[in-house]
A and B are shown apart, each in its own frame.
Chain A
Amino acid sequence: MDERPISPALKASALVMFIFLLAPLLVVLPISFSGDAYMAFPPSSWSVKWYGAIFADKQMTAAFSVSIALALVVTVLSLLIGLPAAYALVRLKPPGAEALGSLFTAPLLLPTIVLGLAILLVFAPLGLLGTFQGLVAAHLIVTLPYAVRVLSTALATLPIPVEEAASTLGAPPLTVFFRVTLPMMRSGMVSTAALCFLVSFDEVVLSLFMTGPRISTLPVAMYHHVEQQADPMVAALSVLLVFLTLAVVVIVDRTAGLAKTFVK
C-alpha cells in the first residue's frame, strides 16, 4: 500500500465520526452498572442489580430462551435447506439457475416492514401467528437468502478436480459429497451458520408482526420494554447481547476467518 500521510483534517473528522458511530454502544456499558431506579446518564450510583433484574424478569428469560431456540432451529434449517439448493444451482446448473437464484434471494430486497405485513396477512388465517412454527417460518424467509448466497460462493470456489478425483477413485456422488465436498466447505458452513444465527437472533420487525402475548423473542421483548420504560435493565441486557455476538464472531474468526466472511 501507499505510504501517503493522512492529512490532520481527515484524521480529526474521521475521529469525530467514529465517536458518533460508536457512541450508543459506548454509553450502554456504564448505564448497565447504574444503581438508579430509572435511566440517567451519568448514573448517580453504581451496582450490578440490573443484571440480577434480568434473571428475575420471567418475561425476559422466557423471551431469551425462545430467541436462542429459534435462532438454533432456524440456523439448522437454513443449512439443511440452503445447502441442497446451493448445490443444485451451482453444480447441477439447471436451465434458469440464475433466475431461480435471484428469486431465492429476492426476499432480502423487500423491506422487512412490507415483508412482515405480507407474511402476517398470510399466516394469520393459517393460525401461525404467535406460534414458534410461525416464527421459524418467518425467520427462514430472511435467513435462507443469506445461506444460499454464502454457500453458493463457498461451493463455486471449491476446486472441482478434487471431487472428480474422488469419483474416479470409486466414490459414488453422495459419498463424494459427504466425504470430500462437505469437509472442504467447512469454513463456508460456519460462516453461514453464524450469519443465520445472528440474523435470526437480532430480527425485530418480522418478529413484531409474528409474536403475541403467548410468545415473544428477546428483541421484541426489549422493544416493548423500551417503549414503556427505558430503564437500565435494557442496558444490562444489551451488554450481554454484545458479548454473545462477540462470542459468535470469535468462533467464526477461529474457524473461518472474519475477513473472509464479512468483508468481501
Chain B
Amino acid sequence: MIRTAPDEMAGLKQGEGFLSLRGLTRRYGPFVAVDDFNLDVAKGELVAFLGPSGCGKTTSLRMIAGLVPSSSGHIVVNGREITEVPPYRRDMGLVFQSYALFPHMDVARNVAFGLEMRKVAKADAAARVREAIAMVRLTGKEHHRPSELSGGQQQRVALARALVVRPSILLLDEPLSNLDAKLRDEMRNEIRDIQKRLGITAIFVTHDQMEALTICDKVVVMNHGRLEQVGTPLEIYEHPKTAFVAGFVGRINRLAGTASGGIAEAAGVKVAAPGFTGPVEVMVRPHRIVLSAGAAPAGGDLHQLSGTVARATFAGDILEYEVEAGGVLMKTEAATRGGETVHAPGTPVTLSWRPQDTFVYTAS
C-alpha cells in the first residue's frame, strides 16, 4: 500500500467539507474497483452515489465505513484523518442492503446495541431506544425478533439502530432495493424526512436514478470505479458532463455525427459544438422533442429533423413515438392533455427541439 505521509495531508484539512475523500483508491490485484475518488460533502447534506452495478459504489461506501481498507488515498471527517481508524472507532452508521439485524436479539436490543458499546447509562439508553423506535414508527414491536418482522419493518429497525447513536455520518447501501415499489416510495421519503430533521450527513448508495434525483441534495455519478460527475440533481440532469451521465440519468436519444469548426452535423442536423472535432455523439431527451405532423414548419432557431412515425404508444399519462428519421430511430414522449390525435405509423412528422436541450460529446 502506498500512502502519503500525514504532514503532506495538512493542507487538505482546511476549508473542505465535513467529509472529504482525497484520491481514494481500491485495487483487487490488477483490477481497480475504485479509482482516485475525490469528494467533499457538507454537513447535513444527503449525497447519492449513483451508478450501474459493479461500478464501485459499495466499495467506496465500505472504505468510508472502514470495512474495506483503501489501497491509497485519504478520508477526512470534520478535519480529522480517519483513513487508518478501524470501523468501530469511526462513529458511522451503516444500513445494509440485507439489513444485517442481529437475529438473536429483539428489536429493542438491536437498537440498543450501539448505545451499549458507547457505555450510555441504562435509563438514558432506554429513553433513546424508545425515541428511536418511535421515530421509525415501530412502537409496540420492541420485543419482536427480526425474523418476525416484514422487510419494511426490518429496514426501519436497521435505520433506527444506525441513527440512535447519532453517528457523524449515516451510510446507506441500497437500503430500499429489497422492498416492493410502493413501500420503496414511502421509505424513501421517510428516510429523507428523518435525515433532514436530524440534520445528519448521509450518503445514499443506489443504482436507481429516481431515488437519487428525488431525495438527494447532491448526486455522485460513478462508472467503472471512476467518478463521472458531481452535482445537484438539476445540474446532473440538465448539464451532464459526460455521455455516460447523459445516458444513465434519464432517457436519451443518441445521434452519431462529426464535428468541425465548432459545428457538429448528425443525421442532417447542424448543432453548435464549440471545441469539438472529429466523431461526436449528439443527444437529446425524448420529452424535450416536439413532434408535429407534416413537413417542417419554419423553426426559427429550433433544431429540426423530419421522418416518419414507426410506432406510436399511448400509455395513458404520456404518448410515446418512435420516429424513423435520418437513418436512426428517435424516441419522443409528451404528457397527454386530452384531445390529441395519435399519428399512425407511416405519417410524415417533424421533430423539433431547442438548442439548449442538445448535448454534444466526443464519440467513444
Direct interface between A and B, CB < 8 A: yes
Write the residues of chain A forming the contact surface with B, with a CB cutoff of 8 angstroms.
Answer: 159, 161-162, 164-173, 175-176, 179-180, 183-184, 186
Give residues of chain B (202-236) contacting chain A, Cβ–Cβ below 8 Å.
Answer: none
B 49-91 to A, binary, CB cutoff 8 A, 1 in contact else 0: 0000000000000000111000000000000000000111111
- Point out the residues of chain A lying under 8 angstroms from B289, CB to CB: none
A169 to B114, CA, bound (A): 5
| 5 A-B contact pairs sorted by A residue (CB < 8 Å) | A162-B101, A164-B87, A164-B100, A165-B94, A184-B104
- Point out the residues of chain A lying under 8 angstroms from B158, CB to CB: 165
Given contacts A165-B102, A169-B161, A169-B162, 4 further A-B contacts (CB under 8 A): A168-B65, A168-B88, A168-B93, A168-B162
Central interface residue in B88, B90, B94, by most chain A CB within 10 Å: B88
A168 to B87, CA, bound (A): 5
- Point out the residues of chain B lying under 8 angstroms from A175, CB to CB: 117
Number of A-B contacts (CB under 8 A): 68
Question: In the complex, are the beta carbons of A170 and B100 less than 8 A apart?
Answer: no
Question: In the complex, are the beta carbons of A167 and B102 less than 8 A apart?
Answer: no
B237 at the interface (CB under 8 A from A): no
A197 to B178, CA, bound (A): 42
Give residues of chain B (132-182) contacting chain A, Cβ–Cβ below 8 Å.
Answer: 158, 161-162, 165
B244 at the interface (CB under 8 A from A): no
Residue of A nearest to B161 (CB): A169
Shortest CB-to-CB span from A34 to chain B, Å, is 50
Question: In the complex, are the beta carbons of A184 and B113 less than 8 A apart?
Answer: no
A186 to B105, CA, bound (A): 13
B 95-132 to A, binary, CB cutoff 8 A, 1 in contact else 0: 01010111110000000011001100000000000000
A56 to B100, CA, bound (A): 57
Residue of A nearest to B62 (CB): A164
Shortest CB-to-CB span from A174 to chain B, Å, is 10
A118 to B89, CA, bound (A): 51
- Point out the residues of chain A lying under 8 angstroms from B102, CB to CB: 162, 165-166, 180, 183
- Point out the residues of chain B lying under 8 angstroms from A172, CB to CB: 86, 88
- Point out the residues of chain B lying under 8 angstroms from A180, CB to CB: 102
Q: Given that A164-B87, A184-B104 are known contacts, is A170 also in contact with B118, CB under 8 Å in the complex?
A: yes
B92 at the interface (CB under 8 A from A): yes
Q: Given that A164-B87, A184-B103, A184-B104 are known contacts, is A171 also in contact with B117, CB under 8 Å in the complex?
A: yes
A168 to B117, CA, bound (A): 10
A165 to B65, CA, bound (A): 10
A166 to B67, CA, bound (A): 11
Central interface residue in B86, B91, B98, B113, by most chain A CB within 10 Å: B113
- Point out the residues of chain B lying under 8 angstroms from A167, CB to CB: 67, 86-88
Give residues of chain B (255-271) contacting chain A, Cβ–Cβ below 8 Å.
Answer: none
A167 to B103, CA, bound (A): 16
Shortest CB-to-CB span from B118 to chain A, Å, is 6
- Point out the residues of chain A lying under 8 angstroms from B91, CB to CB: 170
Residue of A nearest to B104 (CB): A183
A252 to B14, CA, bound (A): 60
Question: In the complex, are the beta carbons of B113 and A164 less than 8 A apart?
Answer: no
Closest 9 CB pairs of A and B: A170-B117, A161-B100, A169-B114, A165-B100, A168-B94, A183-B104, A162-B100, A167-B87, A161-B96
A150 to B87, CA, bound (A): 30
Question: In the complex, are the beta carbons of A170 and B104 less than 8 A apart?
Answer: no
Shortest CB-to-CB span from B226 to chain A, Å, is 26
- Point out the residues of chain B lying under 8 angstroms from A168, CB to CB: 65-67, 87-88, 90, 92-94, 162
Question: In the complex, are the beta carbons of B165 and A170 less than 8 A apart?
Answer: yes
A219 to B165, CA, bound (A): 57
Residue of A nearest to B93 (CB): A168
- Point out the residues of chain A lying under 8 angstroms from B87, CB to CB: 164, 167-168
- Point out the residues of chain B lying under 8 angstroms from A165, CB to CB: 94, 96, 100-102, 158, 161
Question: In the complex, are the beta carbons of B114 and A170 less than 8 A apart?
Answer: yes
Residue of A nearest to B96 (CB): A161
A179 to B88, CA, bound (A): 14
Question: In the complex, are the beta carbons of B94 and A164 less than 8 A apart?
Answer: yes
Central interface residue in A167, A169, A173, A180, by most chain B CB within 10 Å: A169
- Point out the residues of chain B lying under 8 angstroms from A171, CB to CB: 88, 113, 117
Question: In the complex, are the beta carbons of A166 and B113 less than 8 A apart?
Answer: yes
Shortest CB-to-CB span from A159 to chain B, Å, is 7
Shortest CB-to-CB span from B172 to chain A, Å, is 12
A161 to B101, CA, bound (A): 9
Central interface residue in A164, A168, A186, by most chain B CB within 10 Å: A168
A162 to B88, CA, bound (A): 14
A168 to B98, CA, bound (A): 15
A164 to B101, CA, bound (A): 10
Question: In the complex, are the beta carbons of B88 and A159 less than 8 A apart?
Answer: no
Question: In the complex, are the beta carbons of A170 and B94 less than 8 A apart?
Answer: no
- Point out the residues of chain A lying under 8 angstroms from B162, CB to CB: 168-169
A159 to B102, CA, bound (A): 10
Q: Given that A161-B96, A164-B67, A175-B117 are known contacts, is A169 also in contact with B104, CB under 8 Å in the complex?
A: no
